[in-house]
Amino acid sequence: MGQSRQSIVQALERAGVVAVIRLRDPAALRPVIDALASGGIRAVEVTMTVPQAIDSIADIAPSLPDDVLLGAGTVLDAASAGSAIQAGARFVVSPVFRRDVIAECHRHDRPAIPGCFTPTEILDAWEAGADIVKVFPATPLGPGFFRDVRAPLPQVKLMPTGGVSIENAGDWIRAGAVAVGVGSALVDPRLVAAGDFAAMAGRARQIVDAVRLARERRA
């Protein structure tokens, strides 16, 4: 847990995939994380919409392997960011850009990943200290948006969330994304309800492979 903010950012970039976990039943959280990790996912984001999210992070974080990064998502204010970090979250993701959330994360030496939509908002967040900018919702934009934004702003690290799938994950990476945020394409509520964690692990392997192949071809 002694990683610096910079080393966590580097680990997130190496991971390439951040699994976004939204669940109604917090009891399913650990088996979902274990299934994703068995499929090669090395970064998971537990959203604050999960009941008892902070308590769940505190329960799970100490027993995870060091190379599995547990983060908090859907964080809307600095107090929640601080609570999540104190519970063991190693990075904080938000659907929106809030300067005080970035400041609170950095106070604890943890990465902040705010959500932005427009080029102006993306640059404002980056200049405010965002470690990676989550482009959200990415569904209506497409990978071409990343190419267009990165042409004048090549220094900005971008991660799409919303609409990322096994089929298109590689397209985002080739367009310049440092990682992809993936929700229901990985943590499908139907698989959770059925307890089909083997299928979830299989999906994880597919998307990890897609990101790896895209990076090899981009190189």
Task: Tell me how far apart the alpha carbons of residues 47 and 213 are, in angstroms, rounded to a whole number.
Answer: 28
Q: Is residue 84 part of a domain?
A: yes
Q: Is 45 a catalytic residue?
A: yes
Give me the mean pLDDT over the 101-114 stretch: 98
* Candidate list 45, 104, 157, 167, residue with the active-site label: 45
Q: Is residue 163 part of a domain?
A: yes
What pLDDT is attached to residue 219? Answer: 72
- pTM metric for this prediction: 0.97
What pLDDT is attached to residue 2? Answer: 75
Q: Residue 191, class by beta-carbon neighbours within 10 Å (0-12 exposed, 13-18 middle, 19+ buried)?
A: buried
Q: Is 157 a catalytic residue?
A: no
What pLDDT is attached to residue 1? Answer: 47
Tell whether the model's pLDDT for residue 55 goes beyond 50: yes
Q: Is residue 87 part of a domain?
A: yes
CATH label of the domain that carries residue 176: 3.20.20.70
Q: Is residue 194 part of a domain?
A: yes
pLDDT tens track for 130-189: 999 999 999 999 999 999 999 999 999 999 999 999 999 999 999 999 999 999 999 999
Helix, strand, coil % over all residues of the chain, rounded to 5 = 50, 15, 40
For the chain, percent of residues with pLDDT exceeding 90: 98
Q: Is residue 219 part of a domain?
A: no
What pLDDT is attached to residue 149? Answer: 97
Tell whether the model's pLDDT for residue 23 goes beyond 70: yes
* Candidate list 104, 127, 134, 216, residue with the active-site label: 134
Range(s) of the domain holding residue 41:
5-214
Could you say which DSSP state residue 161 is in? Answer: B
Contacts of 32 by beta carbon, 8 Å cutoff, 6+ apart = 21, 23, 187, 192, 197, 200
Q: Is residue 208 part of a domain?
A: yes
Q: What confidence category does residue 74 fall into, taking pLDDT thresholds of 50, 70 and 90?
A: very high
pLDDT tens track for 203-218: 999 999 999 999 998 8
How many structural domains are present in the chain?
Answer: 1
Q: Is residue 78 part of a domain?
A: yes
